[in-house]
Amino acid sequence: MINEVLADELSIGEMAAASGLSVHTLRYYERIGLIAPIPRLSSGHRRYSRETVERVESLGYLRAAGLSMDDMRIYLANLDRGDLAAADHAALLSAHARSIDEQVEQLRLRQAYIEAKAAYWQAVADGKAQTAAAQRTIRRARELSQRLR
């Protein structure tokens, strides 16, 4: 957790190490406005404040959870609104959870298809391609292939 390593302010390298985001990603997030412009020392080096560190920590979690850049922007805007945005937070994250459910279902379908194809080709390798079991397996693979997107 970032807050455990935070003394006062962090350099960009320290921020990257603590957050798990690359220096490039931190600069990119600043450039596109996901994080506010970072104050710099007279040397030009960025110094991340506690508030910015907390926002970056949130971005890291949201990114790891697969939220889009647009959804991360919405999430951060909702954070700025405080508790008044609680219902908006819930709706945004619930929608993302539903999207993940759909992705998981698609992955399961792909897995079932690949397993059926592997089983069929194993039957071919074993000289059993014409068996009833192998024919059922290839029909199953064809049925699954129709549901793949």
What pLDDT, in 10s, does the model give residues 53-96? 888 988 999 999 999 999 999 999 999 999 999 999 999 999 99
Token pair for 144: 């699954």
Residue 41 lies in a domain: yes
Nearest-angstrom CA–CA distance, 63 and 137: 39
Lowest mean pLDDT among 49-53, 98-102, 129-133: 49-53
Nearest-angstrom CA–CA distance, 43 and 129: 71
Nearest-angstrom CA–CA distance, 35 and 75: 12
Residue 82 lies in a domain: no
Nearest-angstrom CA–CA distance, 119 and 105: 21
Taking residues 99-117, report their average pLDDT: 96
Token pair for 24: 């490039």
Please report which confidence band the pLDDT of residue 1 belongs to, taking 50, 70 and 90 as the band edges: very low
Residue 81 lies in a domain: no
Write down the pLDDT at residue 2.
Answer: 47
Residue 56 lies in a domain: yes
Residue 2: give its domain's CATH number.
Answer: 1.10.1660.10
Residue 114 lies in a domain: no
Total number of domains in the chain:
1
Domain span at 58: 1-64
Residue 110 lies in a domain: no
Query: In this predicted model, what pLDDT tens digit does every residue of 2-57 receive, in sequence order?
Result: 444 445 789 999 999 988 899 999 999 999 999 999 998 999 899 999 888 888 98
Nearest-angstrom CA–CA distance, 78 and 61: 16
Residue 60 lies in a domain: yes
Q: Are 129 and 147 in contact (CB under 8 A)?
A: no
Write down the pLDDT at residue 100.
Answer: 97
Write down the pLDDT at residue 119.
Answer: 95
Q: Which helix (H) or strand (E) holds 96?
A: helix 86-125
Write down the pLDDT at residue 7.
Answer: 57
Residue 48 lies in a domain: yes
